[in-house]
Amino acid sequence: MSDLPSFVERPSPSFGSRRGGVLPDMIVLHYTAMESAEAALERLCDAEAEVSAHYLICEKGTVFQMVAEDMRAWHAGAGRWGVVDEVNSRSIGVELANRGDHPFSEPQMAALERLMQGIMARWNIPPERVIGHSDMAPGRKIDPGQRFDWQRLARQGLSVWAEQGRAGDFWQDAAAFGYPVGDVSDDVLLEAFRLRFRPGFTGPLDAVDSARMAGLAMTWPMDARAI
């Protein structure tokens, strides 16, 4: 963590061992939906709340570590990505202090990028295994939300972006990429896809949706480690 001079330890009691002895092969990004980073820290470190994450990054770029990376934090909850339905055991959770209704600050994004570079190198996590809470829990969660700059991460190889492919079956391609097709209604899943890859767009499924999902499925099909 030497590349993060504002790194602070803030241990949370809410963690355990990764089930089945698995190692983390995903990163899940969240926003706190709270008024301040300190309020979020208090909740994430409150034993009675029974929630936590590995890291929280405040608006000024300070990075707080609450749970060691080799341990299981309680950040993802119910949901699925590919065939992984116990996401907490397979992931590292990063919270960003943000109410969800305003942009993420430059110091915060820069700190996130440095943090992710280290995590992905330590655990050999590929960019397609970096997802939002809304991707694995569509309808239940919307974070990190439409104000989050996924394209910025993708340009640095820290996540992926949807390039145009040859449009096919949107739902088959969504399942191939990792979305939990069948767990929620088609409308809810389409909304989750657009929240990340077409923010602000509404209306019925169209050719652009299908082309972009096809590009995701073709370029970044579900990793064999997801099985």
Residue type, 147: R
- The residue annotated as part of the active site, out of 50, 95, 106, 191, is 95
For 16, phi then psi, to 5°, come to -165, -170
Residues 87, 127: contact at Cβ < 8 Å? no
C-alpha atoms less than 13 angstroms from C-alpha of 63 in its C-beta half-sphere: 24
For 3, phi then psi, to 5°, come to -80, 5
Q: Is 95 a catalytic residue?
A: yes
Residue type, 39: A
Active site residues: 95
